[in-house]
Chains A and B, each alone.
Chain A
Amino acid sequence: EAGVVQSPRYKIIEKKQPVAFWCNPISGHNTLYWYLQNLGQGPELLIRYENEEAVDDSQLPKDRFSAERLKGVDSTLKIQPAELGDSAVYLCASSLDLGTSVAGELFFGEGSRLTVL
């Protein structure tokens, strides 16, 4: 079975341009995460979905970032307009979490590396 699939793997854009990233989680996984990772640092949560509901978007810079997870499957993360400081790797992860007491194993995609010039 395919793992978490992200695209594009690499994207280079000029500042003020829009960019979108796509994530296809593992089939059946109800929890989906978008993380931002800067070089040499750990992942920082942007948004977490449980099915189609965004249950934690407190760290998402809503003035320029938006995300959606229609039908609770695939998800897109958009930045408009991009700034120089947005250059980073954008990671998508998913897990199957059964109720409130059973946490599922976490699977990460390869990431989308964004360079803003």
Chain B
Amino acid sequence: KNEVEQSPQNLTAQEGEFITINCSYSVGISALHWLQQHPGGGIVSLFMLSSGKKKHGRLIATINIQEKHSSLHITASHPRDSAVYICAVKGRSDGGATNKLIFGTGTLLAVQP
């Protein structure tokens, strides 16, 4: 079992739909990152979370530390949102953050016009 699991692996949505991508992890963390990668493109950091909720434009990210779960929401989805969304956690040992990144397998999102 992977330490970081994302669901769904693939998601197809119609333009305008509300989208949710989930990330569950089994390790202690100091932070969780949501990343975006367009086909053939570089990786862009969308959010870094250690608690609560963050919002940027049409994107919202939440994290529940007790449940070891995070969600990325996209409101009013658009074809340009089509990309791979990756959840990555920074591990945390008893001695503190390890700065080791553990990546989820990614969610391939396709938003159709």
- Beta-carbon contact of B30 and A102 below 8 Å: yes
- Beta-carbon contact of A97 and B44 below 8 Å: no
- Give A39's nearest chain B residue, CB to CB: B40
How far apart are the CA atoms of A42 and B104 in the complex, in Å?
A: 8
Contact of B30 among A42, A91, A101, A106 (CB under 8 A): A101
Asked whether A21 is an interface residue with its Cβ less than 8 Å from the other chain, the reply is: no
Among the 9-residue stretches A43-51, A61-69, A70-78, A80-88, the one with 4 or more Cβ atoms under 8 Å from chain B is A43-51
Cβ contacts under 8 Å, A31 to chain B:
99
Task: Provide the main secondary structure of the chain B interface.
Answer: strand
Q: List the count of A-B residue pairs having beta carbons below 8 Å apart.
A: 59
Most chain B CB neighbours (cut-off 10 Å) among A56, A97, A105, A106: A106
- Beta-carbon contact of B101 and A42 below 8 Å: no
Please report which residues of chain B, range 82-113, place their CB below 8 angstroms from some CB of chain A when the two chains form the complex.
86, 88, 90, 95-97, 99-101, 103-106
- Give A109's nearest chain B residue, CB to CB: B42
- Beta-carbon contact of A50 and B99 below 8 Å: yes
- Give B96's nearest chain A residue, CB to CB: A100
Cβ contacts under 8 Å, A50 to chain B:
99
How far apart are the CA atoms of A48 and B101 in the complex, in Å?
A: 10
How far apart are the CA atoms of A43 and B4 in the complex, in Å?
A: 13
Please report which residues of chain B, range 10-46, place their CB below 8 angstroms from some CB of chain A when the two chains form the complex.
30-31, 33, 35, 42-45
Q: For chain B, which range describes its interface: under 10, 10 to 19, 20 to 34, or 35 or more residues? A: 20 to 34
- Beta-carbon contact of B105 and A42 below 8 Å: yes
Please report which residues of chain A, range 84-111, place their CB below 8 angstroms from some CB of chain B when the two chains form the complex.
91, 93, 95, 97, 99-111
How far apart are the CA atoms of A42 and B105 in the complex, in Å?
A: 6
- Beta-carbon contact of A103 and B97 below 8 Å: yes
How far apart are the CA atoms of A91 and B88 in the complex, in Å?
A: 15
A–B complex contacts, Cβ < 8 Å, 17 sampled: A31-B99, A42-B103, A43-B43, A43-B103, A45-B100, A55-B99, A91-B43, A95-B99, A97-B99, A99-B96, A100-B97, A102-B30, A103-B48, A103-B50, A103-B97, A107-B45, A108-B35
